[in-house]
Structures are given as C-alpha cells and as structure tokens.
Chain A
Amino acid sequence: MGDDRKFLADDLDEEFQVTAASAGVRAARRWYWKQIWLSAPPLVARRAATFGASLMTLLAARQREPRTLMLANVTADLRYAWRTSRRAPVLTISVVLAIALGIAASTAIFSVMEGVFLRPLPFQRPERLVRFSTSVTNVGQVPEVNYLDARDWQAASTRLEAIGLYDVEPGDVRVGNDVPALAATVMLTTADVIPILGIQPHLGRVLSRDEYVYGATPGVMLGYKFWKARFGGDATAVGRMLQLGGARHRIVGVLPPEADRFPAGGADVWTALTFSPSSFLNQRGSIALSAVGRLSGDATLAAAKEEIATIAARLAAAYPDTNRNRTVRIDPLQDAMVGPIKPMMVLLALAVAMLLALASANIANLLLAQAHARSLEFGVRAALGASSGRVARQLWTEAFALFALAGGLGVALAHPLAQWLVSRYPETLPLAADVTLDRRVLAMAASCTLAAALLAGWPRTRRLRGSLLGTDLHGDARGGLTRGHARMTNLFVAAQVSISIVLLFGGVLLSRTFVNLTSTAPGFIPEGVIAVRASVPPIPHAGAAQIAAFQDRLRDAARSVPGVSSAAHAMFIPFAPGTWGDGYRRAGTADSPPQGPMAHFFMVSPDYFEVMGMPIIIGRGLSPSDREGSAPVIVVGETFARKAFPGADPVGRRIEWNDGTWEIVGVTADVRHAALSDPLDADVYVPRAQVVRGNTWLLLKTSRPSAAVLMELQQRVKSIHPDVALTDAETMEARLAESAAPARFRAIVTGALATLALLLAIVGLHGIVSFAVAQRTREIGVRLALGQHPAAVVRVVLLDTARTVAIGMVPGVLVSVYAGKWLSSVVLVNADPTAVLSGVVILFFAAALAAASGPAWRASRVDPLVALRTP
C-alpha cells in the first residue's frame, strides 16, 4: 500500500482542482475532507489485513521448522548464553543481583499485601461482618462507639443479626507461680462477639451467656497462638487457673487459630467485658468500645446503614446533650481493619515497583552497550546465514536465562524479606492469612520477572536486528554510535535519572521527617521517667477522699523505692492512650461549651511537674494543700494562656468547668500529647485531689534501670493492697520512640530504597559514560593531537553528562512535586519538600559528575597515537 499513497494523494489533488473549478473552492474543500474521512477505514483495514497475512506466513514458516531442531537450538542458545555470561562476569552478576533485589522486594510486598487485602478473614461469611465507628463533630472519626447506643441499635435493628462490643487491652497474665507476670493482650468482649464471628472452640468450650453478666466470675479462653506458646499446646491447660489483672480465672477453652486474626494481631486471652452500672462505660457520654456486627438474612450493607442512621437520629433527639454531634458509620469489617495501613502499603508497593523499573532500565542500557560491542559478532553470524529471527531468539534466550536466574533468586529472598517486613512493621498488620508464597504471589513474581526481562531485553534485540540489516557490517565494534542507539540510550538514562530522583526525594523527605520529629522537644524531660498504670481494685463505699488517699499512698510507695528521686500520679499522661478533652467557659464571658474553647484537662498530683521536668513559668505549681474542699485551682499551659487570655496575665483569672469555677495559679510549658508531630494545644492541669477518678498512672523519676525499679515497686505496692495490678510499664523515652516508630519505619524502608536507587543510577551512569568515552576514543585522540588541552576533554565529557542528567531530571522533578503532595496527604511529612527536592537535585548532580569523572579523566589520558592507530 505504501507505494499507492502518492498516487492516491495525486488523484485527490487532481479531482480537487476539477471540483474547485466547477463548484468552487469551498465545495471542493468539503469534498476533499469527506474523501479523506471516508478513505481512512478501508485503508486501515487493508493495512491490518496485509500485516496479518505476513504474520501468518511467518508463523507458517516457523511451523515448518522441525521441532527437534528448535529444541536443539534452544539448548545451543543456552549453552552459548552461559559462555557469553562467563566472559562478562561483572555484567552478569550485577544484572542478576539488581533484578533479584527488585523482584525480592516486589514479591515480598505483594505477599504481605495479599495476606492483608486479598485474602478474606477466616470467619463464616466474612463479607457479612461489619464494624462500627462514630463521627463526632469537631473531633472527627473515632473507631469506637457508645455502649448504650449500641444496645439501642441492636434492640431496634432488623437488618443486623447482632452487635458485639469489645475492647482490646494490654494486661498481665500469671499462670501458676509465674514471676513476673507475662504481658498479654486481653480481648474483652460481650456475649455476642464470638457467635457473630462464628467461632467454635478448638478445645473445651466458649463462655456461656451467664458468664458475661456483671458480677459473675467469668472463665477465660486462650488464643490459639498463646496456648501453643505458653502451654506448648497441652490439652490439660483447659481447667487450670490463670491470674488476670489481679483476679483468678478458670481456663474454659482454647479458641481456634482463626480467632488470632481478630482483632488485628490477635489476642492472647479472651474474657467477658463486664462493668459496674456506675462505670463511665455505662453512660451516654463515653465512646470507648469497639463494635462488630453481622448483617442479618439478606440485608445489604446500604440498608443496614440507612436503618442505623434512622435509629441514631432518634437517639440524637432523645439524648441531645450527648448524641447531637454524633453520627454512626458502618464499614465492612475487613475494610475497617485494613483501612489505616493502606497508604503505607500503597507507598511501599509504588516504591518497589519503581525500583524494579529502575533496575530494568539500568539493565537495558547495560545490554544495549554490550550489544554494540557484540555487533561485529552478530554481523558475522548474519553473514554466515543466520536469519534475524534466529539471532533474536539467541538474544532473548540469553536475556530470559539471566532474568530467570535473577527471578529465582528474588523469590528465594522474598519470603524472609516479607517475614522481616511483618515483624518490623510498626503497627499491627491486620493479616487475614499468613504471609506465604502461594500461587498468586509466585505468578506475580513471574510476571514481574517477565516484564523486567522484556523491558530490559527489547531495546538490545531491536538494535541488533537493525545491525543485521547491514548498517554495521562495514564498520567495526569500536565505531561511533548510531543515532537510534544513542537516542535509546539517552531515553533509558533519562528514565533512570527520573525514577531515582523520585525515589530519592521520597526517601530523603521521609528520613528528614523522622529526624525533624525526633528533634522536636516533647515539652517535658522523658529521660529517666518510668510510667506504669496501676489498676486500683474497687474499694467498697470509698469516697473521693479515700480514693485520693489511696493514690497518694501508691505514689509514696513509688517514691520510697531506692534510686527514685521523685514520683507522681496522674489520670492521663502524654504518649499513652486517653485524654480528657473538654469545653470550658472563661468566667464572666459568653463562651458556651462544647462549641466554645476546648482544652485538654490533666488530673495530676502536685509533684507531676517535678517528675516530668516541666518548668513553672509564672505563678506557682500545684501544692498538696490544693485538696477537696479547698479553693479549686489550676495550672495552665502557655498555649492555653495565650489563647484564652491574649496579652494579659493569666494568673488570677477564672474559668468555669466541670461544675466549678477554677482559678489559674500558674503557667507551665506546653507538651505534645500523643505524637511529636502534634501541634501544641491548650492544656490545663487540675489537682488530682479536686477531681478524683479511680485508675491512675504512676510516674517515677529514676537513674536506675527500670526493670529493677519496677520489681521493687511491685513488692511495695502489693504490701499496700494485694490486688493492685501494675501494667503498661514503660519509660517515657520508649513511649516517645514508639510514637515515632511508623515514621522511623518509613524512613528506613524508603531511605534504603532511595540509597539503592541512587547506587543503581550512578553505576548505570558510570557504565554509560565509560561506554560513550570508549566509543569516542578516536575522536578524542584527534582532538588531543590537534592540541586540545586534556582539561577541555574532561570538561566536554562532564558537560555531556550534566546535560543528559539535567534533561532526565525534568520528569523526575515534576513527578516529585506531585509525589510530595500525595505523600503529605497520606503519611506524616514534617519537612520542607522544596528544600528536600533542591537538595536531592544537587546531590544527584554531584553524584552523577563524580560517576562521570573517572571515565572523563581516562578520556583525557588517551594517547593520540594509540587512539588513531587502533582499528
């Protein structure tokens, strides 16, 4: 058809002239375009048909080739590939390692993602399970619900079979005479949770309904993993006694392995969730329990949502004080479980995919350079009668053999890497199944390998087939580059530069974020401070004064431990779950809580500031004489003072809160609450003795190792009351580190990927520049012979490199700008993206020039005589 194009165009012209003469130019133009429009389909169809025909001819020819010969060819090709790769061991090893790393990382991430996202939870009809969460105006979404609300939903709903409530708590478990107690995750549930999930006991029984009633002494069920680890899978564990949080319980059964998939990370011990009618859990105001439900019959999720929304609206009308600002949300259980870790997983997947693409581009260029060196070899083979198809097969056999090796190695590395990822993952991974290399994962690894092989092998094959058409036969392997080859090389260099810029940018941004985070002052001095939660047993008929006195006794016991310089107790502490956020009214103003100003209220003992190293900036701290019955006083943080009383001395001002009027007596420093990245907020410190609540944190300032201190504390506390349980013991430093753990993990992983990317790109660039210099030896020789200064040669090579890198950077920088925006929308970013990007660009330039300087120097040392004499 190609030949006919000219005739066709001429014909159109001829008729256009005729039509224009008879009907006018406008009509002729219209006719012309109509002709073109109508001509396209038949011509395209014709082209497709001829292409198809030639393909069929080719395939038919292939078929005629005897099978045995083909097989023999493959074996010969493989043998030849082996010899070729032995001749270039460095190339072979670097190709295999780079690709193996890429495949290993991609496969590991994919196998984790499969366990998290693609496998269903191992419960009966898991798609019918839902989880509830609450949205509160001005606060946002919390993954918990109110107990009474949930009971009302359950009573009124027809589209939900049941709603179960649960709470996962860290606890301590003692079996027999174990000292010390084991830290354990305790799952407290209402009676409906186990039936909702459809769990049957592995051994023994599950709790009966009457064991879920307040006042009953419930038995406990062991998680399967815990049973295997602690009891070695001994069936006689059932029936034995176990001490949990100060009380003795009988082990009634062992749960099946599936139960370890819920909640995320599993629980060691399951028992009944009970609380006294006067508990805060039993009040409309609290939102503290997780809820799981099962859709009934054939009710859809949408229908259930609608129904619950109606019920919630009714509750909001009935209890406006608490429920007015509340809406309920229902999500499929697994979605709710995996939701929080999705951004991180997507981030990891993208990063490893980019690393794999980078490695492939790198290999493509290596192979391309090698192909140039081998063009003479293939020219000879073609001259001896090898068809271009035969040569292509040889090349592909080489490439696939190399990549198959790398893929195998990658898969072998993938499993340990995935295990590492799961064990080091900073949050609990909601794995629905174990991370395994199953068929899906292996298929994924195979397709990654294949894609990488195609991407890396294609340019070389194209290039060598081109060289078989005779373009290179006259030349030699040391001649100049063809233009097509140079263009392809530059394209792959640009791709490498771009990808590594993006990966570097991400890695540095997240590493910088972590560094900035850990250098943020928390507002208190965490060094040497141990925080431990003390569960105070219910003291019958105890008034506020007795409870306060009991807490003071615990504090005094802590202070009496040798090596403890000071001790305090507090209801909530920073970097531990739980805060008391509340509205208040500045006395004499029209502030109307909860819409008005908000603050975090910390109920602390007077020594709190000393233990935490928080300075009193103005006024006084709290004193032991600020007790129940004395004038209500508070100490506020600087941000509170600035927000509530801008430009004025806050000391002596009053606020109304919690049915009282409180006078500010001092100002202290601001603290971060739950994460170092939290903005500073308004804080209020209230004397514990003036707002008494049961459970408490003990804080100890010590220079001794925490284990020894805790051991002694335990003994002292026991002598006060045998049922006081100490849990959650950790230093404040460890708590700070934990809060930064996700950022640290992201920094490590993306930092490692970025380093790899930079290395790959630099090694690749070095190879390309070396190759280009080798190709230009003769030209450089001529330049030097004509009197050019060697320094000028170095400059030319470096400038060439800089230009190639600069062009390659453009897409990388553009993508980075968007990547930065995306990153800060999904994970914590605490660094200036622009500064990081400029730094990365400069770093990359410097590294690229360093990589090019070796070859450039070699170029300047070329001996003109040798260069010109060499063929």
Chain B
Amino acid sequence: MAKGDFVGEFELYVMLALAHLGDDAYGVTIRREIESRTDRTVAIGAVYATLARLEEKGLVRFRLSDPEPVQGGRAKKHFTLTQSGMRMLRHSTSMLGRMMAGLSPDLKGGRS
C-alpha cells in the first residue's frame, strides 16, 4: 500500500472488530463489538457506511450467507478483512504504537 494511506479512526475500529469477530462478523455483531469495547453509542448506519467505504478501498470483502433454516430466518452479509485489509490494519496499529512509544499511559511525557 502506498505511503500516506491512512484509515480514519472509525474505519480502524470497524476493521479491528472484524479481526475480533472472525467468521461471525455481520452488521449486528460488528456494531455491538464496537459499542461494548468503546462504550459509546454506535449507529448501525455508520457501520454500513464505513463498511461500504472499506469495501471500495479493497480492505474488506463480504459473502452472503444462506437464509437460516428457521421461521423468519434471513440471509446475512458477512464481512471479512481482505489480505490488504489485514496489512492495512497491521500497518495502522504499528504506526499507532510507534507514535505512542515513549509516552506514559496518560500520554504525558515529552522529550527531556
């Protein structure tokens, strides 16, 4: 991936959620994963808008599951990270790590 390709904060959250959820990643679970970990309200619309954007960038792909064999069962759109999505995620998190290196946990410190 080209230098200077950054993903936004919420995009990063969605990709991390996909990494956590593995095969069970669809709208509901992704939304809940982020909500429970960040402790803030997450709109389902924001999740889908972000997924569509990530898909366009080639960072995630989806497959449609068959309808569940129960009454009212439905098809789901399952998302997973692509190869470049995984690379991007590793890249972004390591960048974050490098940027944070040398800072105390409360992000104070600076050069002395």
Contact = CB atoms under 8 A, between A and B. Distances in A.
Interface of A: 1, 4, 7-8, 10-12, 14-15, 34-36, 38-43, 45-46
Given A35-B45, A43-B48, A45-B49, 7 more contacts: A4-B51, A11-B27, A15-B32, A34-B41, A38-B46, A39-B48, A43-B49
A42 B28 contact: no
Interface size class of B (residues with CB under 8 A): 10 to 19
A632 B28 CA distance: 105
Contacts of B77: 4, 7
B41 A42 contact: no
B74 A12 contact: no
Nearest to A37: B43
A1 B50 CA distance: 11
Contacts of A11: 26-28, 31, 44
Given A7-B76, A8-B44, A12-B44, A42 B49 contact: yes
Contacts of B50: 42
A35 B28 contact: no
Given A7-B76, A8-B48, A46-B49, A39 B27 contact: no
12 contacts: A4-B48, A7-B27, A8-B27, A10-B76, A14-B28, A38-B45, A39-B44, A42-B49, A43-B45, A43-B48, A45-B49, A46-B52
Contacts of B27: 7-8, 10-11
A678 B10 CA distance: 77
B63 to A, nearest CB: 12
Interface in B35-75: 41, 43-46, 48-53, 74
Contacts of A40: 45
Contacts of A41: 45
Nearest to B32: A15
Contacts of A39: 43-46, 48
A309 to B, nearest CB: 61
Contacts of B28: 11, 14-15
Given A4-B77, A10-B74, A42 B43 contact: yes
B49 A38 contact: no
User: Interface SS of chain B: helix, strand, loop or mixed?
Assistant: helix
Q: Which 8 interchain pairs have the tightest Cβ spacing?
A: A39-B45, A38-B43, A11-B27, A46-B49, A42-B49, A42-B46, A39-B43, A43-B45
Most buried by A among B43, B45, B51: B45
User: Interface SS of chain A: helix, strand, loop or mixed?
Assistant: helix
Nearest to B43: A38
B19 to A, nearest CB: 20
Contacts of A10: 27, 74, 76
Nearest to B64: A7
Given A7-B27, A11-B31, A38 B41 contact: yes
Nearest to A14: B28
A2 to B, nearest CB: 10
A642 B27 CA distance: 89
B41 A8 contact: no
Contacts of B48: 1, 4, 7-8, 39, 43
B56 to A, nearest CB: 9
Contacts of A12: 44
A1 B27 CA distance: 14
Contacts of A45: 49
A503 to B, nearest CB: 49
Nearest to B51: A4
A42 B44 CA distance: 10
Interface in B71-104: 74, 76-77
Contacts of B41: 34, 38
B79 to A, nearest CB: 10
A39 B28 CA distance: 14
Most buried by B among A1, A35, A40: A35
A46 B43 CA distance: 14
A7 B46 CA distance: 13
B64 to A, nearest CB: 9
A32 to B, nearest CB: 10
A35 B77 CA distance: 19
Contacts of A14: 28
A35 B46 CA distance: 10
A14 B50 CA distance: 20
A4 B52 contact: yes
Most buried by B among A7, A12, A41, A43: A7
B26 A42 contact: no
A35 B32 CA distance: 12
A11 B28 CA distance: 6
Contacts of A46: 49, 52-53
A36 B46 CA distance: 10
B46 A1 contact: no
Contacts of A42: 43, 45-46, 49-50
A34 B44 CA distance: 10
